Amino acid sequence: MNRALETERLSLRPFTPEDAEAWFAIWGDPEVIWWGADATFAKSADTLRRLVAAEADWPEGVGWLAVCRKGEDEILGDVLLQAAPFAPGIEIGWHFRREVWGQGYATEAARAVLERALAEGVADRVYAIVALENPRSLRVVEKLGMKAEKDLEYSGLPHRLFAIEPSAG
């Protein structure tokens, strides 16, 4: 997701290879990547370099954004749009440093990403898939106005699939 974005409190920008250490500090925290996804994913500068390079081939508007407070370089988390593995379309995801949870950052960042994606027609609908045992993330999708579609098993855990489309107005 190649272009920067600003919200009231946050600036969202593409990742650079220099972000590798800070990003792994987030992804290396078992309370953030609690469902046991591959925590080595963000572990090396090499992974991040490959990710950043791969984005060049992704459709405009799809990919990862690093989230910082405006005027600061320190990464608070990430928001991503990627091809959904469970439904035809795009899914949104978010991961934030534990120390900054509960301040509305995930919702604020994700709302900006969603609004731009829907306004620009990057996707007709955007999905989110959230584990039923992840109340924080369930609250984020609720605040974003995403609608529950169905419950399903995903990565061995009960999940709820949510979707949102551009508003008619």
The residues that touch ligand COA, with contacts defined as CB under 6 A, are 32, 93-96, 101-107, 130, 134-137, 139-140
Q: How far is the CB of 142 from ligand COA (least distance, A)?
A: 8
Nearest to ligand COA of 82, 107 (CB atom): 107
Between 49 and 107, CB nearer to ligand COA: 107
The minimum distance between CB 11 and ligand COA, in angstroms, equals 15
- Residue 118 vs residues 112, 124, 127, 159, 164: alpha-carbon distances, Å: 10, 7, 12, 24, 9
Minimal distance, residue 59 CB to ligand COA, in Å: 22
Nearer to ligand COA, 34 or 44 (CB): 34
Min dist CB 58 to ligand COA, Å, is: 20
Q: Which is nearer to ligand COA, 47 or 137 (CB)?
A: 137
Residue 159 β-bridge partners: 131, 152
Annotate 80-144 with DSSP letters as a single string: EEEE-SSSSSEEEEEEE-GGGTTSSHHHHHHHHHHHHHHHTTS-SSEEEEEETT-HHHHHHHHHT
- Pairing, β 75-83 against β 157-164: unpaired
